[in-house]
Every structure is written in structure tokens, then in C-alpha cells.
Copies of this chain bind each other. A is one copy, B any other.
């Protein structure tokens, strides 16, 4: 078994997937080989197809098979709102959960000067070009509420201010179903600072 190098290589290569350690990789390899060889072939084919064919949308930088993604070519979306997110997964999450009908811009990361990630690396020159077109009226900042995410949002809101565009930040606070007692301190502080008037 230990001399079975192809099996061992397959297990090792499953470990490149997020959240997959040696034990899970072993289970996956055995599952494919013993129960689902067709599924393995299909996964293999789609992996190489996806890696070869899926690039980035030239306008919004999300993942796309074509030069422009389905959201950028969609005539039904309004050009007035532009939502800035960190990753393509964020686009998917917003599309699934909200009724937002504007456009997106995907940074593909966040400002992190120490790691050599500056404005150019996250496509802010490209974003500046879109803002210069003059159609965007609201720039929604939906970067993650981490230190770098906040700094990135701040930087972009300054860009928007220079062009007299209204920037907004999505709300951060106690999640639905969360109990105050168990919410972390940072979130609770955020929720207090961001409190809004209710009633009349």
C-alpha cells in the first residue's frame, strides 16, 4: 500500500483544497476510487476546463469565462450603484441574499502595504476609470470589517469624495439571531457607534 505511489500522490493533491487534511484527503481518494469513478473523471475534466477558461472580467474583475461577466453585460442592472467587494465569493453572497440590482467591482484583496499590496494590485486605477465615466452616483463599500478591509474602504471613499460621488458603507453590528451576551466586544462596540434613530 505504501508503495502505491499514484494513490499517495492523489491523496497529497487533495490536500491543496481548503479545509482538507491528510485524513480527509485519504477518504476522498478512496471514495472516488471505490464508489464514484465517474464523478472523479467529471471533476478532473471540469477542474482543468475551469482553470484554463475562467479568467477575470475586464470591467469588474470577478471570475468569468468571457471578457465581460454576466453581471457587467446585463442591461437590466443599473449603473448608478456600484458595490465594491473583496472577492468573487462576496459577489455571489450578495446576489443570493439581497435584492441589490446595481453593478459590482471586485478588488481581489485589500490594501496591505506590508505585503506589497497597494492600490494598483487591487485594481483601484481601474475603479478610478469607472468612476470617471460619471455614471456612478453611489459607491457601496462592502469590504470585510477587518483592519485592512476598513482601511481599504476608507481609501476608496476618499477616491469617491474627490469625484463628488456618495460613498456608503454596509452596516456592521449584531447579526440576526445573535445574542448580545455572546457577541464579541468589537462587534458590539461597532453596533453601538452605528446606532440609528427609530420611531417617529
List A residues at the B interface (Cβ < 8 Å).
1-7, 9-10, 13-14, 16-19, 24, 26-34, 36-37, 39-51, 53-54, 62-65, 69-71, 87-89, 91-92, 95, 108
Expressed in whole angstroms, the Cα–Cα distance for A26 and B45 within the complex equals 17
Number of this chain's copies in the assembly equals 2
- Counting chain B CB atoms within 10 Å of each CB, the highest count among A2, A40, A49, A87 belongs to A40
Query: Do A26 and B63 have beta carbons less than 8 Å apart?
Result: no
Contacts beyond the supplied A6-B53, A7-B63: 20 A-B pairs with Cβ under 8 Å: A1-B71, A1-B92, A6-B50, A10-B46, A13-B46, A16-B32, A17-B31, A18-B28, A18-B31, A19-B24, A19-B27, A30-B63, A30-B87, A33-B54, A33-B88, A34-B108, A37-B51, A40-B50, A40-B51, A43-B47
Dominant SS among interface residues on chain A: helix
Query: Do B88 and A34 have beta carbons less than 8 Å apart?
Result: yes
- For residue A51, which residues in chain B have a CB less than 8 angstroms away from its CB? 32-33, 37, 40-41, 44
Q: How far is the CB of A52 from chain B (nearest CB, A)?
A: 9
